[in-house]
Amino acid sequence: MNVVNPTFLQLLSKPIHLLAFGFGSGLFSRAPGTAGTLVGVLFWFFLVDLSLTSYLTIVLIAALVGIYICGKTATDLATHDHGGIVWDEIVGVLLAMSIIPVTWTWVISSFLLFRLLDIWKPWPISWLDKNIGGGIGIMIDDMLAGAFTLAILYLVVEIL
């Protein structure tokens, strides 16, 4: 599939692309990364009751799978990092939310802080985004944004 902007039906024909596009959330013409992040928050609601070890194991597996599916989809679409590829946002926000208290305030704070860091891309996130290619490059900046969000939220949780 060498289509720059695939349709939902085209995604359905390629399960790897469907995953990379966050089950279609990456097809939103405005803010596909935000839509993908919302899918990640939705997944969080299903994972939140797991032990931290189980939760982080799932996040690690999703990140490793993401390297392949994001890289393969970008190659198939002949792009470096198509804006519709949002699996990286899904996994990044899951990492960010791994230790937050289960309240709406913390969910919204996690979502907003992760989006801010993902969009702003402070150093070294920006450096990784520009200098690492392929599936690893697509995943690494969002994983680091998720790790930064996690660290900031951890400090806030500890202070409060």
Q: 117-125: which pairs have CB atoms within 8 A and are 24 or more residues apart? A: 117/145, 117/148, 117/149, 118/33, 118/37, 118/89, 118/92, 118/142, 118/145, 119/33, 121/145, 122/148
Tens digit of each residue's pLDDT (9 = 90 or more) over 91-144: 999 999 999 999 999 999 999 999 999 999 999 999 999 999 999 999 999 999
Tens digit of each residue's pLDDT (9 = 90 or more) over 30-46: 999 999 999 999 999 99
Query: Domain residues of the chain, as ranges?
Result: 8-159
Evaluate if pTM is beyond 0.85. yes
Torsion of the alpha carbons at 52, 54, 56 and 60, rounded to the nearest 10: 170
